Structure 1
Amino acid sequence: MKKTPLYQRHLALKARMVDYAGWDMPVQYEGITEEVLAVREKVGMFDVSHMGEILVCGKGSGEFLNWLLSRDVTGKQKDQITYAILCYENGGTVDDLLVYELGEENYMLVVNAANKDKDVLHINDSLITYRDKFSDREEDIKVIDDSAYYGQIAVQGPESLKVMLDLAEELGLDAQETEQLKNLKRYRQIQVDKPGYERKMIISRTGYTGENGYEIYLPAELTGEVWDLFYDYGVTPSGLGARDSLRLEAGLPLYGHEMGEDITPLEGDMSFFVDFSREFQGGEQMQARSTRKRIALVSEGRAIPRDGYPVFLDNEEVGVISSGSFSPTLGKGIAFALVNTDFPDDTDEVEVKVRKKFESFKVIEPPFVK
């Protein structure tokens, strides 16, 4: 299995390690509930160095990405980060990703660890299609897997800004950069020179927890000392188990559950991140093949829903749980389900078959934790 630059630190903290997309990753340290509550109430940190970073650079890169992704990446402020969806030609989802503009015609795509190799292949194949389709466009586009260069730490929670500002000098920020960090808006980034290193450190106000937070991209060999800075400050190490609970509580989708090769972005309730006013790969097909929609459910009892459990309305099976878990914050079971598009929007309650018993669940508007 592959190991992140923080692997030895996880072992020293006696983390429970699991295989995640071929990476040996910490699923928990002290416990998932404790880690979730630390992020909800104070601040926690996650090793997300397994995420992939793909560079798309060179003349014409912006135009290519506009055609490739569900939203435009050009015409925005330089520090703005774009959340977008990479689609197959048939409208299914290859991956969801973040696009960082590093410089003129120089973009970094941050992709899911399990999909990185597939994404690189798909982008290169799509570039061939793009060149055939738009042969009159001048371009010199390169696609580079830059994942080995970066380590990544996510600092999340209501106290995350205080931590970042208190440690700004140790992180290498000057007074101007510290002021930028203090005023950084959501889905914005700052780039910080690291003497002796080719690429800049990136700090973005992004995350996957529903709380205020920051993600730091830096040279892999520097990741350990930055982790130690946060740990010595008192930030709670948190694992993949807490991260998944937090993202579900926040109403955020997960690849392979609410999106996938056979699940379109529309079916996963991600239409806000799809701009149909312009042409992009898979857009037309996506609208034609979407036959399901996503709903959010909260247990009315003690039942814990799990992926794959069937959902019933009036004794008729209407869908399936796509993500389900116990919510440490709410103290009850929560879930997303994919149901038929004719599922009535005014439905208040459904039943989920948990093992061999039918359990009642309320239908709500996400997020589960506001």
Structure 2
Amino acid sequence: MTEGNFVDYVKIYVSSGKGGKGSTHLHREKFIEKGGPDGGDGGRGGHVYLVGNKGLWTLFHLKFAKHVKAGHGGDGGSARSTGADGEDKYIEVPLGTVVRDKETNEILFEITEDGEKRIVARGGKGGLGNWHFRSSTNQTPRYSQPGMPANEIDMILELKVLADVGLVGFPNAGKSTLLSVLTSAKPKIADYPFTTLKPNLGIVAYRDFQSFVMADIPGIIEGAAEGKGLGHYFLRHIERNSVLLFLIPADADDIKKEYEILLDELRRYNPEILDKERFIVISKSDMLDEELQKEMKVQLDTEFKGLKYHFISSIANQGLVELKDKLWEMLNSEENQL
């Protein structure tokens, strides 16, 4: 998936179909000049559904679908025949899609399962034909019900990436490089900040044909929780990850301080994110000789006090097998299986 094709936010106007009107027909045939009412009911208007599709990873296919309208219900006919129901419309969305009312910004529901189907705009009910209104005092009613009007909604579809592992770090920490080495994803990589402007997903192959999904989230900067830089644009994607992998380069001025800044941004955005399992990975460790790495481990053991950390080099292919083992162990822990 190219970066330009990743769309995680779209606005769509949807309208269901209006219900068909009931018929006011009176029965007429040879030798029966004044038959009773036999007007049928109108058909219901078409619904607009949202359907979860695990094969979709982005909302790109809806980028230009500004209006979605279901069909109107058919009018009732003679001989108590009911009008045809309006054509339903189905909008397929990737798992992790949040549906908001554009006017109120209220979350209506979320699509998280493959095949999950939710009505976002219900079709209008068809009107009753005059057959329903006959009585002993009014044997030939010449009126019927109109169909119910269509339902309209301006909605926002917002994708929160469903990935097992989310890569969290400052710009240029090596997240895209790590993703490209561990998976077949081909994110844009360059030696300047904010190379990644949108999330990239990759499938990490593990032993015995098993796998897990890793997401490269755009880099955090201080103030991101207040919307600074890419702000909320990427923070919402972290909410759905099972494990957060904090990537900090070995040449950082202060590894512990960088970790605490990243943690604070997540805390200010949504404190519940901190309940997720966290794993600290020191990238670009090929820049360290053995002695320097030992010194750094002693320092990190003191500063992190029991927090799990690991040294890797994506370029030199160091520590990657052990990293996959550790992530697999964390993803399959009892806590993540609940």
Question: Shorter-normalised TM-score: what interval?
Answer: under 0.3
Structure having the higher strand fraction is 1
TM-score (normalizing by structure 1): 0.26
Larger radius of gyration: 2
TM normalised by structure 2 equals 0.28
